[in-house]
């Protein structure tokens, strides 16, 4: 366990420079404040599950849920960088196994995700009315963990198979863009939503994370959240299996 914590610490320290921290914090805060206030002046209120809320109250849970993409991107980026510069071989030449590295990477994802979610929640408090119950808080934690595992696994698999920095950046940015904007982060899915966007949103795991966290924030937890949980649980197993297989196939000069 001590070896895993050492690797987790190393991953966090090596990746969290001032520019990275600024980007991870400022971009979501910008989404929350700028879009929330500007769109809020156009859409003064809206209805969610029969509850009348402000627009910024609607998007705040979505911005919190979006932190899973940041945590997931970190995992894939670290693996890709370590593979590219030969750091993986150096790590595995010491008393660390592939399992230690993988678990350390997963823990670092969770740390980054929860840190970002806490920052976003504190920033949002002056603008929204929170109605989170103890069960709702537990639900938020579960949805954040499952969402981080899903998107972290996707990025880990990408980092394991790509051989070009440009390809990794291109694919990860496209995934980030599509997943964020083709979901229920910024707008509700209704019968008026264009059919193509609605289909993409309904197969997008982020939509289920957002819906679950939004229900918890507004204390509107219902049976649909159970369905969201089961879908995310199944997807997390699928994508983590894919990521593990891809990770195990990374070729090193020494047998590890």
Distance CA 82, CA 145 (A): 24
pLDDT computed for residue 1 by the predictor: 67
Buried-exposed string 81-96: b where 16+ CB fall within 10 A, e elsewhere:
bbbeeeebeebbeeeb
Distance CA 24, CA 110 (A): 14
pLDDT computed for residue 256 by the predictor: 44
pLDDT computed for residue 237 by the predictor: 93
pLDDT computed for residue 211 by the predictor: 92
What are the sequence ranges of the domains in the chain? 2-248
Give burial (CB, 10 Å; 0-12/13-18/19+) of 206. Answer: buried
pLDDT computed for residue 229 by the predictor: 94
Distance CA 41, CA 55 (A): 9
Q: Which helix (H) or strand (E) holds 53?
A: strand 51-53
Distance CA 71, CA 152 (A): 7
- The two structure tokens encoding residue 49: 């599950």
pLDDT computed for residue 227 by the predictor: 93
Residue among 133, 93, 85, 78 nearest 247 (CA):
78
pLDDT (tens, 9 = 90+) of the chain, 256 residues, equals 678 888 888 878 776 666 666 666 677 777 777 777 777 778 778 888 778 888 888 888 888 888 888 888 877 888 888 887 888 888 888 888 888 888 888 888 888 888 888 887 787 777 777 778 888 889 999 999 999 889 988 988 888 888 877 888 888 888 888 888 888 888 888 888 888 888 888 899 999 999 999 999 888 888 989 999 999 999 999 998 998 888 888 876 544 4
pLDDT computed for residue 192 by the predictor: 81
């Amino acid at each position: 366990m001590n070896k895993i914590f050492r690797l987790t610490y190393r991953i966090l320290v090596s990746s969290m420079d001032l520019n990275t921290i600024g980007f991870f914090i400022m971009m979501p805060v910008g989404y929350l404040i700028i879009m929330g206030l500007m769109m809020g002046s156009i859409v003064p209120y809206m209805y969610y599950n029969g509850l009348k809320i402000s627009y910024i109250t609607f998007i705040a849970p979505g911005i919190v849920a979006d932190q899973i993409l940041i945590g997931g991107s970190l995992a894939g980026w670290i693996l890709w960088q370590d593979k590219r510069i030969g750091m993986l071989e150096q790590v595995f030449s010491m008393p660390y196994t592939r399992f230690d590295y993988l678990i350390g990477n997963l823990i670092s994802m969770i740390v980054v995700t929860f840190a970002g979610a806490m920052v976003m929640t504190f920033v949002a408090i002056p603008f929204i009315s929170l109605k989170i119950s103890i069960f709702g808080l537990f639900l938020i934690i579960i949805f954040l963990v499952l969402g981080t595992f899903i998107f972290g696994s996707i990025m880990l698999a990408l980092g394991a198979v790509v051989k070009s920095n440009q390809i990794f950046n291109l694919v990860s940015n496209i995934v980030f863009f599509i997943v964020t904007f083709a979901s229920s982060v910024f707008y509700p899915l209704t019968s008026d939503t264009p059919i193509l966007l609605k289909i993409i949103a309904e197969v997008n795991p982020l939509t289920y994370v957002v819906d679950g966290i939004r229900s918890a924030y507004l204390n509107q937890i219902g049976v649909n959240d159970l369905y969201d949980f089961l879908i995310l649980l199944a997807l997390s197993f699928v994508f983590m299996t894919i990521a593990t297989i891809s990770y195990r196939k990374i070729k090193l000069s020494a047998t590890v």
